[in-house]
Structure 1
Amino acid sequence: MIKITDDIKEKLPRFKIGVIEYDDITISETPKMIKGRLQFFEQSLQFELETKAISEYPSLMEWRTIFKQVGTDPSKYRPSSEALYRRVKKGNSIITDNSAIDINNFFSLQYAIPFGIYNKDIIQEPVILSIGGEDSQYDALNGRLVNMGGKLVSSDAVGPFGSPIVDSKRTMITTDTTRALQIIYFTPSISNEHATEMLRAVEKMFIQVHGGHVIKSEVVES
């Protein structure tokens, strides 16, 4: 479903993403049991971050390097995984009332890499992951109009909709969503075998919480 363009292959020859497509899912308020598990994990990480610097997490630092390689300033535009870590470090909870977003954020914290999840019914194929041009922009979930020039961006036939920085409002997940596309932004240092294991863990938990089934799950390389 997703193609990685040649401009990424030239700058990031070992770049890879995970792609999972879900069908017949039910998005709801996050169940109390899952919310409790997330709160415990969040509190444990916050305690860890009291004595551990962001720079001590290899995956977070590797993503900063990826940004620099494609021309993005990681201090101005942080990878979403790093943004989550910094939010937890400040004592700000990342837990929402949307089960899909909470599960996505949980795995992003656990693996210290960006995750994206999108309403598949809104997306119009083909989907292309590229380095955005200067006219590439969208209304983001943070309420800002984000310019994606010189940044990794996923686009469909309508236009750009997602990135490892922040995603668009257009393809956001809601409680009305029944089909979803999940993109996992692996670091180049992760082996294909490990990446596949991570995919299986993610899809298993997602289905346990939301029902439905997996249509497709694969690692896509540059």
Structure 2
Amino acid sequence: MAPFFLRHDDAVWAAHPRLRAVAVVVEDVLGLDGTTARQEALRAGVDARVAERTESAMPEIAAWRDAFAAMGLKPTQYRCASEALLRRYRKHGDMPVRHPLVDYLNFVSMRFAIPVAALDVGRVAGGLTIRPAHGTEKYETFQGAAEHPAPGEIVYVDEEGHAHSRRWAFRQSARSVVTDRTGRVLVVAEALHENASEDLDALESELLDGLGVHCGPSMRITPDARLFEFEAAEDGALR
């Protein structure tokens, strides 16, 4: 067995000192059920959030817009995942059904306006570093094409140089997307706003309660606790 890790590069911490995160391993995803009722329980909070203010006025989203601007991106062209979900929900009043875990996490993300990533551990080589891209990383689109993130763009990168996200919290790679064959998932929620710690406390509690016995190792990521590490078999399965 080899250790699997998640960490943010020092350059990310230096540029974003308010960064806080939660990482949770979800086990036995193939046996996951009961998330529909849980996400329906979150719906009232999502409805209240979209009724109260626009996405741009939410402090959680505004902080991500600032981070995207710092990467040289137009915040209205590239939106963090939670903003994109909220805008879609506001327009359609519901979300498409994709996968029990992903559907639930989408509602968690919207309820807290915090981006939540879900990655198939078996499709990630060795571990993940969240860092500025060098420009040589390989990103797989959902259309089957290959891209190289721009140098300086923050991405999730594994030990073989695969980029598992573009523009930090904008879009995930098709390489590690959760499917009906996924057994174990790494969930990462990252926040940059002033009350990030308090909101992540509530988000973590929701994940632990909502996923119950499926929750494996977890960690709150702060400037004083930056490395999340756990054991994974050579095939990517957790032990």
TM over 0.5: yes
Whether the 8 Å contact between 2:35 and 2:210 is mirrored in structure 1 is no
Q: Structure 2: give runs of 5+ residues left out of the alignment.
A: 227-239
Q: How does 1:51-62 map to 2 (within 5 A)?
A: 52-62=53-63
2:190 aligns with 185
- 1:18 maps to which of 5, 19, 22: 22
Whether the 8 Å contact between 1:26 and 1:212 is mirrored in structure 2 is no
Amino acid at match of 2:219: S
1:106 aligns with 107
Instruction: Give deviations 1:155-177, integer Å, cap 9, x for gaps.
Output: 11121113411101111111222
| Aligned mates of 1:206, 1:146 — CA distance in 2 | 34
1:196 counterpart = 2:198: no
Whether the 8 Å contact between 1:196 and 1:219 is mirrored in structure 2 is no
When residues 78 and 143 of structure 1 are mapped into structure 2, their CA distance, relative to the original with a 3 A threshold, is farther
- When normalised by structure 2's length, the TM-score is 0.76
1:6 aligns with 10
Whether the 8 Å contact between 1:46 and 1:91 is mirrored in structure 2 is no
| Aligned mates of 1:85, 1:91 — CA distance in 2 | 10
When residues 193 and 30 of structure 1 are mapped into structure 2, their CA distance, relative to the original with a 3 A threshold, is closer
2:81 aligns with 80
When residues 216 and 128 of structure 1 are mapped into structure 2, their CA distance, relative to the original with a 3 A threshold, is same
Per the alignment, in what secondary structure is the counterpart of residue 111 of structure 2?
Answer: helix
Identity of aligned residues (%): 19
| Aligned mates of 2:31, 2:153 — CA distance in 1 | 30
Q: How does 1:48-197 map to 2 (within 5 A)?
A: 48=51, 52-91=53-92, 93-141=94-142, 147-149=148-150, 150-158=152-160, 159-162=162-165, 163-192=168-197, 194-197=199-202
1:218 aligns with 220
When residues 41 and 3 of structure 1 are mapped into structure 2, their CA distance, relative to the original with a 3 A threshold, is closer
Instruction: Give deviations 1:135-189, integer Å, cap 9, x for gaps.
Output: 3341234766555323321111121113411101111111222211011011242
Q: Structure 1: give runs of 5+ residues left out of the alignment.
A: none
Q: 1:120 Cα shift?
A: 0.9
Equivalent pairs counted in the alignment come to 216
Whether the 8 Å contact between 1:129 and 1:155 is mirrored in structure 2 is yes
Whether the 8 Å contact between 1:192 and 1:219 is mirrored in structure 2 is no
> Bigger CA drift: 193-202 or 138-147?
138-147
Q: 1:46 Cα shift?
A: 8.7
Whether the 8 Å contact between 1:80 and 1:164 is mirrored in structure 2 is yes
Whether the 8 Å contact between 1:141 and 1:166 is mirrored in structure 2 is no
CA RMSD of aligned residues (A): 2.8
| Aligned mates of 2:143, 2:115 — CA distance in 1 | 16
Whether the 8 Å contact between 2:20 and 2:190 is mirrored in structure 1 is yes
